[in-house]
């Protein structure tokens, strides 16, 4: 017997309905306690980081990385909606391109468009 994937991500929220709507409206994720998001198969990195890592904010226990396509179009839509998007040249690697945003309650999100 072995684990075959991530079956869910559950996190606390001050306003679950508004936060779920933000994920639906801005990222196209079927979010909420009464929905199931059918995602495409693909690579998932499951990696504990050192407690003093600077890869994501120290006050956040984790950062969610989301695989995307059409990163430039998604970034344009996010910025048009008022969502701040952070880009850094060093985030463009042989693995793809990355940008960072935060959800309405401050959770850091990394958007990743893989190479090819």
pTM above 0.85, yes or no: yes
Who has greater pLDDT, 4 or 110? 110
Pairing of β 64-67 and β 96-102: unpaired
Q: Does residue 4 register a pLDDT over 90?
A: no
Across the range 26-53, mean pLDDT stands at 92
Residues 16 and 32: their CA atoms lie apart, in Å, by 8
Across the range 58-73, mean pLDDT stands at 94
Q: What is the mean pLDDT of the chain?
A: 94
Across the range 11-16, mean pLDDT stands at 95
Binned at pLDDT 50, 70 and 90, residue 84 comes out as: very high
């Amino acid at each position: 017997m072995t684990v075959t994937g991530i079956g869910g991500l559950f996190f606390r929220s001050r306003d679950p309905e508004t936060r779920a709507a933000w994920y639906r409206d801005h990222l196209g994720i079927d979010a909420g306690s009464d929905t199931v998001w059918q995602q495409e198969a693909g690579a998932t990195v499951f990696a504990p980081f050192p407690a003093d890592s600077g890869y994501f904010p120290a006050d956040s226990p984790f950062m969610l990385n989301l695989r995307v396509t059409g990163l430039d179009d998604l970034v344009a839509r996010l910025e048009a909606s008022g969502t701040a998007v952070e880009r850094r040249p060093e985030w463009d690697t042989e693995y793809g391109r990355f940008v960072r945003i935060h959800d309405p309650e401050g959770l850091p999100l990394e958007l990743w468009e893989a190479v090819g």
